[in-house]
Amino acid sequence: MKHLLQYIFIFLIIIMLYLTYLVGSYKYTEYKVLQYIDSLTDTNKEFLNKIQEAKFSLEYKNTKAYRNKILKSEWWRKNKWEEVLYLIQEDIYNKYTNDTPGENTEQNTTGDLLTEQSLISTMTIYQKWIYLIFDKDIR
């Protein structure tokens, strides 16, 4: 009888350990599921924020002001009532606007371009870079 009680006691200890294992594994899986749900909730919030930003961006891009801005900046358009003012250096302005009698400015500019092209064609790559960046002939 004594041995039977010992076997029953050992059997009950094994059952209790098994039940403790089951409770622990259940709590661990519950913790993992809750962590996964929290991560999904955070991801959904991020997606909702991005969707709201995209809606705001689309609403902004559908406005007349945005379309007007894009047409002006990328397509060089202007509205009917606007005037365009070009700001350039005075010597460049004088070069193309001041005509002296008997002198053809188109020939002068093409001649200047031809001499500059012939000048650049005789330079090495390093000399071209120096000439184009610093406007200095180092030949």
Mean of per-residue pLDDT scores for the chain: 84
| The pLDDT value given to residue 22 | 98
- Residue 84 DSSP class: -
Task: Tell me the pTM.
Answer: 0.42
Q: Which residue has the higher pLDDT, 43 or 93?
A: 43
Are 127 and 138 within 8 A, CB to CB?
yes
The amino acid at residue 44 is: N
| The pLDDT value given to residue 102 | 46
Q: How far apart are the two ends of the chain, measured CA to CA in Å?
A: 116
Return d(Cα 53, Cα 114) in angstroms, integer: 54
112, pLDDT greater than 70: no
33, pLDDT greater than 90: yes
Place of tokens 């001041």: 98
Return d(Cα 70, Cα 78) in angstroms, integer: 11
